[in-house]
């Protein structure tokens, strides 16, 4: 009883202390008639509005707030005061024109899991050097050479789905595809056993990434930390083998190994491993989630499915007969598929928002963003704003016949940290779609509506589906 009373007193004291600190901060920032904090509510001390956000869903939470307060508002979530930005101009301000006033910010546990030297945790010269290497290795010039290999990965995966005729979890299967394509762009052709070792440990890291951080052995998080160490060792083994065989490859690993900064310094093996694993991490779930949504939207829009199918069949000269490998020119000449992809990325908005932290007090449109506060450009709210995308809930690829207004469409982000993998993501999506549409049919199984967050949005239960090879199917056309 006494312990309970003491605990209650401690809680009250912490509560008062935190309330006092927040009030003090607000007073400091608003005295002398300086810029005011944006409208909004900071909720309870420490917990802020975290409970409200997670008891609805972040997207509903943000949309409700935007309706109430407008395009810039403050809140307090996960222990941090934040300013949310739901206008294209504000997103541009933070991510592009005044990016130097904001730094990337991630929870420490996530940084540790991916690797603290991964480029997206950094700014300045280190980030710029690494970004150049990643961008070069994922440039159109480089990835066009990967087309036949990506096709092989796509076809053998599709064959495996159709082969056993069982219901698959589309999202989980798409993760296998994006993982294998990721490995191809990072390491080129890896020996099968090393690839399996990488995959095995990566799956454990992936499971632990969103679990409760703890040092207790046996927990999902702790297992992930150990698997992450093994991943670094595997990357070191691959590096040693390359050095031994004096291989000079133009994949990302090759670029990282050949790097010298202005003083002739090379990257350490930890820096290389963190960036390899970081890129793989950035590539896998995002692309898999996009592909899963694309299958869902195709399923829901029968006429568009038929039109896309026709586009892919005609791209290879009418269909029938043996299919030749896709050429880069063909992949660039499928306008309907391209618009379908863009509309899917808008509707699904895989990355709903991003985080930065103000490195100094910043004034934006007469509002103060205090130093140390998080800012969150809300991509989803912008993509679903009827002023920029009329009837935003209607799936309509034709809206992309006209280029969207600048800074209103940011599925791959914007500015210095925008996605360097966007060309590869679009290419691998197109290749998988090409083989799916020209050789296979599928049927979504069970309930067909609802969203899950894994943590990216995906259709409910990962979109369970069954696949058939076109020539031998006896299933009705979906």
Beta strands 451-453 and 457-459, pairing class: antiparallel
Q: Kindly determine how many residues on this chain lie close enough to bind ligand HEM according to the rule CB under 6 A.
A: 26
Residues of the chain by 3-state class (helix, strand, coil), percent to 5 = 60, 10, 30
- What's the burial of 109, exposed, middle or buried (CB within 10 Å: 0-12/13-18/19+)? middle
Q: Does 411 bind ligand HEM (CB under 6 A)?
A: yes
Q: Does 154 bind ligand HEM (CB under 6 A)?
A: no
Among the listed ranges 13-21, 140-148, 202-210, 283-291, the one in contact with ligand HEM (CB under 6 A) is 283-291
Between CA 149 and CA 428 the distance in angstroms is 10
Binder to ligand HEM among 38, 40, 115, 182 (CB under 6 A)?
A: 182
Q: Does 283 bind ligand HEM (CB under 6 A)?
A: yes
Q: Does 119 bind ligand HEM (CB under 6 A)?
A: yes
Between CA 220 and CA 216 the distance in angstroms is 9
Beta strands 464-469 and 451-453, pairing class: unpaired
Q: Does 421 bind ligand HEM (CB under 6 A)?
A: yes
Between CA 186 and CA 98 the distance in angstroms is 32
Region 447-476 residues binding ligand HEM, contact defined as CB under 6 A: none
Among the listed ranges 7-15, 131-139, 295-303, 324-332, the one in contact with ligand HEM (CB under 6 A) is 131-139
Binder to ligand HEM among 350, 431, 437, 458 (CB under 6 A)?
A: 350
Contact residues for 274 (Cβ-Cβ < 8 A; gap 6+): 114, 115, 116, 117, 118
Q: Does 66 bind ligand HEM (CB under 6 A)?
A: no
Binder to ligand HEM among 347, 419, 444, 463 (CB under 6 A)?
A: 419
Q: Does 287 bind ligand HEM (CB under 6 A)?
A: yes
What's the closest the beta carbon of residue 253 comes to ligand HEM, in angstroms? 13
What's the closest the beta carbon of residue 51 comes to ligand HEM, in angstroms? 25
Binder to ligand HEM among 40, 370, 397, 420 (CB under 6 A)?
A: 420
**Helix and strand counts by DSSP (H, E) for the chain:** 18, 12
Q: Does 351 bind ligand HEM (CB under 6 A)?
A: yes
Nearest CB to ligand HEM, comparing residues 150 and 290? 290
Nearest CB to ligand HEM, comparing residues 186 and 304? 186
Among the listed ranges 11-19, 52-60, 266-274, 276-284, the one in contact with ligand HEM (CB under 6 A) is 276-284
DSSP letters for 18-76: HHHHHHHHHHHHHGGG-PBPPSB---BTTTBTHHHHHHS-HHHHHHHHHHHH-SEEEEE
Q: Both tokens of residue 42? A: 């900071």
Q: Both tokens of residue 316? A: 């290879």
Nearest CB to ligand HEM, comparing residues 281 and 364? 281
- Please state whether 57 falls in left (phi above 0), alpha (psi between -120 and 50) or beta: beta
Region 193-232 residues binding ligand HEM, contact defined as CB under 6 A: none
Phi/psi of residue 151, nearest 5 degrees: -60, -45
Q: Both tokens of residue 93? A: 């301000």
Q: Does 288 bind ligand HEM (CB under 6 A)?
A: no
Q: Does 282 bind ligand HEM (CB under 6 A)?
A: yes
Beta strands 80-85 and 374-377, pairing class: parallel
Judge whether 80 is annotated as a binding position: no
Residue ranges for the binding site? 419
Binding-site positions for heme: 419
- Residue ranges that bind ligand HEM, judged by CB under 6 A: 119-120, 131, 134, 138, 182, 185, 279, 282-283, 286-287, 290, 350-351, 354, 411-413, 417-421, 424-425
């Amino acid at each position: 009883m006494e312990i309970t009373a003491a605990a209650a007193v401690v809680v009250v004291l912490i509560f008062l202390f935190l309330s006092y600190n927040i009030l003090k901060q607000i007073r400091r920032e608003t005295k002398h008639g300086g810029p005011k904090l944006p409208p909004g509510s900071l909720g309870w001390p420490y917990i802020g509005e975290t409970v409200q956000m997670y008891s609805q869903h972040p997207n509903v939470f943000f949309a409700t707030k935007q309706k109430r307060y407008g395009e810039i508002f403050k809140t307090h979530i996960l222990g941090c005061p934040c300013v949310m930005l739901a206008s294209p101009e504000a997103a541009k301000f933070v991510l592009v024109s005044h990016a130097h006033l904001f730094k990337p910010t991630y929870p420490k546990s996530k940084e540790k899991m991916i690797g603290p030297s991964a480029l997206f945790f950094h700014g300045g010269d280190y980030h710029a050097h690494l970004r150049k290497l990643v961008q070069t290795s994922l440039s159109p010039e480089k990835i066009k050479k990967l087309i036949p290999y990506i096709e092989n990965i796509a076809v053998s995966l599709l064959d495996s789905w159709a082969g056993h005729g069982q219901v698959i979890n589309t999202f989980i299967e798409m993760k296998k595809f994006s993982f294998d394509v990721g490995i191809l762009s990072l390491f080129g052709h890896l020996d099968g056993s090393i690839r399996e070792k990488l995959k095995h440990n990566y799956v454990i890291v992936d499971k632990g990434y969103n679990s409760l951080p703890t040092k207790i052995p046996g927990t999902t998080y702790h297992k992930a930390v150990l698997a992450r160490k093994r991943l670094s060792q595997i990357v070191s083994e691959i590096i040693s083998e390359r050095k031994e065989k004096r291989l000079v490859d133009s994949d990302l690993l090759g670029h990282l190994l050949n790097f010298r900064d202005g003083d002739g310094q090379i990257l350490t093996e930890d820096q290389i491993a963190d960036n390899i694993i970081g890129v793989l991490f950035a590539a896998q779930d995002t692309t898999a989630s996009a592909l899963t949504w694309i299958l869902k939207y195709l399923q829901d829009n029968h006429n568009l499915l038929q039109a896309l199918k026709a586009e892919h069949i005609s791209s290879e000269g009418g269909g029938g007969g043996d299919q030749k490998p896709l050429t880069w020119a063909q992949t660039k000449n499928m306008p309907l598929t391209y618009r379908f992809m863009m509309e899917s990325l808008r509707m699904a908005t895989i990355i709903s928002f991003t985080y930065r932290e103000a490195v100094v007090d910043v004034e934006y449109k007469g509002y103060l963003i205090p130093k140390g506060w998080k800012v969150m450009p809300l991509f989803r709210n912008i993509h679903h704003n009827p002023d920029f995308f009329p009837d935003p809930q209607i799936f309509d690829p034709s809206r992309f016949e006209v280029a969207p207004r600048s800074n209103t469409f940011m599925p791959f982000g914007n500015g210095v940290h925008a996605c360097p993998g966007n060309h590869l993501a679009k290419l691998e999506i197109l290749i998988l779609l090409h083989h799916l549409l020209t050789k296979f049919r599928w049927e979504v199984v069970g309930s067909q509506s609802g969203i899950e967050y894994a943590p990216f949005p995906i259709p409910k239960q990962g979109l369970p589906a069954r696949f058939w090879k076109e020539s031998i199917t006896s299933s009705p056309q979906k």
